[in-house]
Amino acid sequence: MAEIATRMGPLDGRSLATNAVVIEAARPASRIALRAPSASLAALSLALGVDLPDRPKSAASRGTRHAFWLGPDEWLIIDEDRTDLNVACRGAEVLHSCVDVSHRNTAILVSGARVEDVLSAGCPQDLSLEAFPVGACSRTVLGKIEIVLYRTAEDDFRIEVWRSFSDYAFTLLTEAARDLSS
Amino acid sequence: MLLIRCPYCQEERPELEFRHAGEAHVVRPHNIADISDEEFEAFFFHRANPKGITHERWRHVHGCGRFFNAVRDTVSDRFVTTYKAGEPKPALEEHKA
Ligand SMILES: [Zn+2]
């Protein structure tokens, strides 16, 4: 019988549901770190099938694919369908750098009525809807680590976090959630 | 916590996302191999360190990643203004309280 290797996610099987929030591991996704000058954006947007945002703290989505503005020439692209994004970028014959970071990051989904309070236990940004509206996205900090925070709905956030930091992030969030519900 | 306006993100962001990066507008000599030890010492080690208005480099290291410059008052610890890397020192008259 053939032996089959099973890939384990760093947060597999972990979740917490309280009356304040639900915290769970996101399903695997493909990701690239993309750097490009503004002259390359049109061709890259066409190749990736999503308009690369050029406004600070913004994101763009089409289907399972999301493009997060991280800096003036830097984006994090993720695809929840695990399409090879480096192959997609090959369609754009313009100056750019794309590095596959699918397994560098993992993601945590946090949702619920007290989601802003739970995130604010570790994130110093103003997460009110006025300052951080639905669709906003930002690289920032959570406690002692760096994250990319994306608001998918009023009470729903996605946290992109480096794989080796994910246990710290998940534990910080669950501790905060327990504090709120006790 | 200080709120620092990043000229690239175009909004005030918490101090924890930033890192200080020394005095701004220190120009590295193009002929660095030819200058005297005294000239190198002046470029490499000597800083203005004023009491009052100073120009500093900062990096939005946990945000957009960009270096930028700030005018800061070392007495009040206030950020007077921030501006993009490569831009000239802003005229200060308009910022004097
Ligand atoms: Zn910034």
Give residue-wise pLDDT tens across range A15-62: 999 999 999 999 999 999 999 999 999 999 999 999 999 999 999 999
Measure in Å the smallest separation between the Cα of B17 and chain A Cα atoms. Answer: 6
pLDDT of residue B95: 52
Q: Is pLDDT of A172 > 90? A: yes
Q: Is pLDDT of B21 > 80? A: yes
Q: Mutate which of B4, B5, B11 to test chain A, going by most A C-beta atoms within 10 A?
A: B11
% of chain A residues with pLDDT over 90:
92
Domain boundaries, chain A: 15-181
Q: Coil, strand, or helix at residue A116?
A: helix
pLDDT of residue A90: 93
Single-letter residue type at A140: T
What Å distances lie between residue A33 and A96, A98, B10, B32, B60, CA to CA?
11, 6, 23, 36, 18
A12 — pLDDT class (breaks 50, 70, 90): very high
Q: For the domain A15-181, what is the CATH code?
A: 3.30.1360.120
Query: What's the rounded mean pLDDT across residues A107-136?
Result: 98
A124 — pLDDT class (breaks 50, 70, 90): very high
Measure in Å the smallest separation between the Cα of A138 and chain B Cα atoms. Answer: 7
User: How is residue A69 annotated by DSSP?
Assistant: E
A141 CB neighbours in chain B (<8 A) are: 16-17, 62
What domains are there in chain B, each with its CATH number?
3-27+37-96 (3.30.2270.10)
Rounded to the nearest 5 degrees, what angle is found at the Cα of A40, between the Cα atoms of A35 and A43? 115
Positive/negative CA dihedral, A95, A100, A104, A107:
positive
Give residues 34 to 63 of B whose Cβ lies within 8 Å of A: 62-63
